[in-house]
A and B are shown apart, each in its own frame.
Chain A
Amino acid sequence: MRVSQLPMRRRVWNLGARVLLYLSAGLTCGLLVLLIGTICARGIRGINWQMLTTAESVLRGTVGILPAIQNTLFVIVLSLLIVLPLGVGAAVYLTEYAKNHRLVSLIEFATETLAGIPSIIYALVGVIIFCTALGLQKTLVSGALTLVIMNLPTIIRSTQESLKTVPQSYREGALALGSGKWHMIRTVVLPSSIDGIVTGSILAIGRVVGESAVLMYTVGLSTAMQDFSSLAAMMKASGATLTVALYIYAKERADFTTAFAIATILLGLTVVINGAAALAGKKLKKV
């Protein structure tokens, strides 16, 4: 090893830097393990079949978070159904069609800024616009729409980024074969950026699952079963999602067993979603 030939001063530096690096790596991993360990250790006990498959019952004195799970799914699906076409469409317009480059960079700057705004601000916007001004009240629909506003900038950004990685030569090749613009986008540009778009959307689901501030103020606090049997019923459905339920159990009922159980479920969900994002990204990677 050449290290032994280095002058004393450099060797001390070397050693110092190494110790610091190990320390920070160890600290990070330790914290992570501690966090996950604590949550799972305290949470696993609270998870059982009855809890996952029923609503809570005051009469029988049982806990159940099925409504929260359903509400979460409803919010995820609804917000994605709206935000994906909107966001991908906007990104396609901005990168492929828009001619005014000043305006495009202005919009890009705006979306970038919006993507970094604390979610509590979106919560306020949601309350003012959807719950109050549009008269939707505190409903899952209000929550989903607020999440649409919150996720739109990120979806636009991530889609634009993946569209920009599509080589210009693909576009030229398609056009030179007589393809129209939209046909080119649909058959060449979107398929070759689909991995990035899907990864971006899955990460957006992750944000929806983990979002609390927005939902706390917009979806309502009921832990009872909601009715999703008709469109009218869906418009009225109002109740806690998993994160909101977590807050309710921990803060208002001091039921920490259930709170930690929900936390464990959320943690598991996040892992699954991130795993899915990684997998989808790899699977859909250009042939």
Chain B
Amino acid sequence: MQEEPILRIQHLDLWYGENHALKDVALDIPAHRITALIGPSGCGKSTFLRTLNRMNDLIPGIKISGSLTYRGSEIYDPAQDVTPLRKNIGMVFQKPNPFPMSIYDNVAYGPRTHGIRSRVQLDEIVERSLRSAAIWDEVKDRLKKSALGLSGGQQQRLCIARALAAGPDVLLMDESTSALDPISTSKIEDLAMELKKEYTIVIVTHNMQQAVRVSDRTAFFLLGELIECGDTEKMFSQPADKRTEDYITGRFG
């Protein structure tokens, strides 16, 4: 790779109390690529993802050591303010979680939080984000209506638009299509592939086909360890590790 990785994780260890959930994980996440995290349930994919935007900070009894950098600056530096960090590293959750407000207010939430008040500017950001999330045409006539009236797939794309509106350059998606039907899923997959031109994307998925379809790089986790990481095509055709092979051929997990 010619570029510096946008996120660099080295010697990451994480404990939930006594539970050693991530063990000496090292991973570089390159810009403008889709990185897929795969692995059996409970192996620490979500935990890993949530360390990247410090969403784990809220959990009592958690302990994190190692070095995580975002564009060269230490994410867990005590002087690091989480507000700009989370503005830069956006997140889309497993279950769509639009706020109980209008579609417009949902998308405008991030920019407003970061101090944008001008109506014109907000209108512009809302429209651009909704267009990027490929949902503009479906909602443009009902921006003032409640977001809770949308279908599950629409809600998830709205959540993507909401994340984009905050102006991130990394987008974390934790099984963001697992609650959706196949059509909505493929819309969001197409969307992700479109978005990687401008954003860096990390997805967690249980679906091997999805990892193959959308990702450029894949990281395989097992019991809190990063077993293998590399180009998706190579990893799925000639895995370096026996355990990776067993997992992707469906022998366990």
* Chain A residues within CB distance 8 Å of chain B: 99, 167, 169-170, 172-180, 183, 187-188, 191-192, 286-287
Contact: B97 with A178, CB < 8 Å?
no
Cβ distance A89 to chain B, nearest Cβ, rounded Å: 21
Chain B residues within an 8 Å CB radius of A183:
113
Q: Determine whether B58 belongs to the interface, using a CB cutoff of 8 Å to chain A.
A: yes
CA distance A176 to B58 in the complex (A): 11
Chain B residues within an 8 Å CB radius of A167:
97
CA distance A177 to B87 in the complex (A): 6
24 A-B interface contacts by CB (under 8 A): A169-B97, A172-B55, A172-B93, A173-B93, A173-B98, A174-B109, A174-B113, A176-B53, A176-B90, A176-B91, A177-B86, A177-B110, A177-B163, A178-B87, A178-B166, A179-B83, A179-B109, A180-B83, A183-B113, A191-B101, A192-B99, A286-B146, A287-B100, A287-B102
Cβ distance A287 to chain B, nearest Cβ, rounded Å: 4
Contact: A286 with B83, CB < 8 Å?
no
CA distance A191 to B98 in the complex (A): 14
Contact: A286 with B55, CB < 8 Å?
no
Instruction: Please classify how large the interface on chain B is, using the bins under 10, 10 to 19, 20 to 34, 35 or more.
Output: 20 to 34
* Chain B residues within CB distance 8 Å of chain A: 53, 55, 58, 60, 82-87, 90-91, 93, 95, 97-102, 109-110, 113-114, 146, 148, 159, 162-163, 166
CA distance A286 to B102 in the complex (A): 10
Interface centre among A170, A286, A287 (most CB of B within 10 A): A287
Cβ distance B208 to chain A, nearest Cβ, rounded Å: 27
Cβ distance B131 to chain A, nearest Cβ, rounded Å: 19
Chain B residues within an 8 Å CB radius of A188:
99
Contact: A178 with B91, CB < 8 Å?
no
The 8 Å CB contact of A177, one of B100, B101, B113, is: B113
CA distance A172 to B93 in the complex (A): 9
Contact: A177 with B90, CB < 8 Å?
yes
Contact: B84 with A175, CB < 8 Å?
no
Known: A177-B86, A178-B84, A183-B113. A172 touches B97 (CB 8 A): yes
Chain A residues within an 8 Å CB radius of B97:
167, 169-170, 172-173
Contact: A176 with B99, CB < 8 Å?
no
Contact: B113 with A178, CB < 8 Å?
yes
CA distance A135 to B58 in the complex (A): 47
User: Which A residue sits closest to B53, measured CB to CB?
Assistant: A176
CA distance A42 to B20 in the complex (A): 75
Contact: B100 with A286, CB < 8 Å?
yes
| Top-9 shortest CB links A-B | A169-B97, A286-B100, A178-B87, A287-B146, A178-B86, A176-B91, A177-B110, A173-B97, A178-B83
Known: A169-B95, A169-B97, A183-B113. A176 touches B60 (CB 8 A): no
Chain B residues within an 8 Å CB radius of A192:
99-100
Chain B residues within an 8 Å CB radius of A169:
93, 95, 97
Known: A183-B113, A286-B100, A287-B146. A176 touches B55 (CB 8 A): yes
Chain B residues within an 8 Å CB radius of A177:
86-87, 90, 109-110, 113, 162-163, 166
CA distance A33 to B90 in the complex (A): 60
Chain A residues within an 8 Å CB radius of B148:
286-287
Chain B residues within an 8 Å CB radius of A187:
109, 113
Cβ distance B91 to chain A, nearest Cβ, rounded Å: 4
Contact: B113 with A179, CB < 8 Å?
yes
Chain B residues within an 8 Å CB radius of A173:
93, 97-99, 159, 162
Cβ distance A167 to chain B, nearest Cβ, rounded Å: 7
Interface centre among A169, A178, A180 (most CB of B within 10 A): A178
